[in-house]
Amino acid sequence: MKHLAAQRGKGGPLKKKTQIAQGSLSRIQEKNRALILEAALQEFSKVGYSGATVERIATAAGMSKSNLLYYFPSKAAMYESVLGRILDDWLAPLRTLDPLGDPAQELRAYIGSKLTISARHPQASRLFANEIMRGAPRLGRVLETDLKALVADKCDVIESWIKAGKIRPVNPVHLIFTIWATTQHYADFAPQVRAITGTDLSDPDFFAETEKTVTDLILAGLGLQMPQAAKVA
Amino acid sequence: MKHLAAQRGKGGPLKKKTQIAQGSLSRIQEKNRALILEAALQEFSKVGYSGATVERIATAAGMSKSNLLYYFPSKAAMYESVLGRILDDWLAPLRTLDPLGDPAQELRAYIGSKLTISARHPQASRLFANEIMRGAPRLGRVLETDLKALVADKCDVIESWIKAGKIRPVNPVHLIFTIWATTQHYADFAPQVRAITGTDLSDPDFFAETEKTVTDLILAGLGLQMPQAAKVA
DNA sequence: GCAAAACCTGACCAAACGGTCAAAATGAGG
DNA sequence: CCTCATTTTGACCGTTTGGTCAGGTTTTGC
């Protein structure tokens, strides 16, 4: 998962030999690269790759276009850097799914993590959505190797819970897709959610309501809900 | 919901007076407009509005860029036309949710319809996703008026089922969001689904498996699943 | 405090883009 | 076959965009 990380090789800075150790960056570089990546994330996630302009990103980062291109050799390189930067955070929640834990607790935690990311980093969610909807031109390999392996691994976990009779039988991969879909929906389609409900996940009450409803629905779907079958008058 | 439909007013064809009746189009116009809208849908849904170029759409439609611009005054007009064309089909399934019907049957049918659209018209799904992710600049009004009203109406339906004790209590709007999210996921994120599973909804077996899993999960989540609580050894 | 490296800028360029226009080609009606 | 409206084209234009470059300014190491 490193092939997407900072691959500044030539054309940008850091090409001279008198470098501060290996791969480390000067204070200015660190600050400016961070500013650029943050601005780029905002821009890319808002208008997509083709809609983004280097000029606007530079302005948002508080520097000239030329200066930005001093740090990143091209728009494409900048995009890949942004993508790589958030990829690990993106996959982290799924990694923590523990086969030895209690299914209800594990899934609750996973759904909660994903929803928290949707609330706190909706731009990241939208960036991935954009990338994948365009056919994952730069993420394709990662999906087919790392992500596929990770999902296969966690499918085994779910399968083991099923075999142990801890949850109802479901196709594990669809369960994972369902969790992704529902949680990311609130970030990716926030404008629609806002149009209909008037709020979004940044509102703590709405977040709580969403988390409860989605979690209950999925856990009940797996036969994991506490004995509360009926509750009507 | 008509403000987005064909609003060819000036600049294009049909501006002369010797017209074939009111609003009707010549055979050539009909054919070419259809070709253009089809090509435009493909292009817009694949690369987004900003990523699409008039030239490529024209080539895909089998005509020159100039000729395309004879039929549609601008790229923006073409985009809105595509959007309006598929909007009604998009909302239709939700409209059919019948308060008098059996909840399980109704929801089954709704999920099935949405998933069928994801399978047969994934481009349409992606186009809407793109539009909404960009902040719904041209669909905003429709969402806040028509869609909001429609959802409110159907939330009442679901609420009535809850009050009647036919389904477990859930926040209706989140239930609708969950159905949208899960079904559209397979169209919008098809590249990811393919990377992980090797197929997509165009494969009948995969479609069937998806429909069954998603439907069962949601219905069970609502307490609607037949008495099959446990099935383990 | 002084070189040398790192950082930054504005002017510039070629390509791609959306859109215009005059004129040619094509079709339909008499 | 002629005429006129419709359809189609290619040449063209102004703007925007990603990217380059030569040179100026600041920071850093000694």
| Residues B70/B78, Cβ–Cβ less than 8 Å | no
Q: In the predicted model, is pLDDT for residue A50 greater than 90?
A: yes
Indicate yes or no: CB of B195 within 8 angstroms of CB of A46: no
Q: Which two tokens stand for residue B109?
A: 């049918």
Torsion, CA A116, CA A118, CA A121, CA A124, rounded to 10 = 140
The pTM score is 0.89
Nearest of A138, A12, A20, A19 to residue A87 by alpha carbon: A138
Q: Which residue has the higher pLDDT, B4 or A149?
A: A149
Is the CB of residue A53 less than 8 Å away from at least one CB of chain B?
no
In this predicted structure, what is the pLDDT of residue B24? 63
In this predicted structure, what is the pLDDT of residue A225? 76
Tens digits of per-residue pLDDT, A78-121?
999 999 999 998 999 999 999 999 999 999 999 999 999 999 99
In this predicted structure, what is the pLDDT of residue A24? 62
Amino acid type, A9: G
Is the CB of residue A143 less than 8 Å away from at least one CB of chain B?
yes
Tens digits of per-residue pLDDT, B216-226?
999 999 998 76
- Which nucleotide is at minimal CA–C1' distance from A66? C9
Radius of gyration of chain A (CA): 21
Q: How confident is the model at residue B25 (pLDDT cuts 50, 70, 90)?
A: low
| Residues A110/A179, Cβ–Cβ less than 8 Å | yes
Is the CB of residue B180 less than 8 Å away from at least one CB of chain A?
yes
Q: Could you say which of A162, A213, A232 has the minimum Cβ distance to residue B174?
A: A213
Is the CB of residue A89 less than 8 Å away from at least one CB of chain B?
no
Indicate yes or no: CB of A144 within 8 angstroms of CB of B195: yes
Q: Which nucleotides of C are covered by protein (CB under 7 A)?
A: 5-11, 16-22, 28
Spatial distance between the Cα atoms of B85 and A108, rounded to a whole number of angstroms: 41
Torsion, CA A139, CA A143, CA A144, CA A150, rounded to 10 = 150
Spatial distance between the Cα atoms of B96 and B106, rounded to a whole number of angstroms: 8
For chain A, what percentages of helix, strand and coil (3-state, to nearest 5) are there?
Answer: 65, 0, 35
Indicate yes or no: CB of A170 within 8 angstroms of CB of B222: no
| Residues A1/A143, Cβ–Cβ less than 8 Å | no
Average pLDDT for B172-197: 98
- φ, ψ of residue B130 to 5 degrees: the values are -60, -50
Tens digits of per-residue pLDDT, A202-229?
999 999 999 999 999 999 999 987 654 4
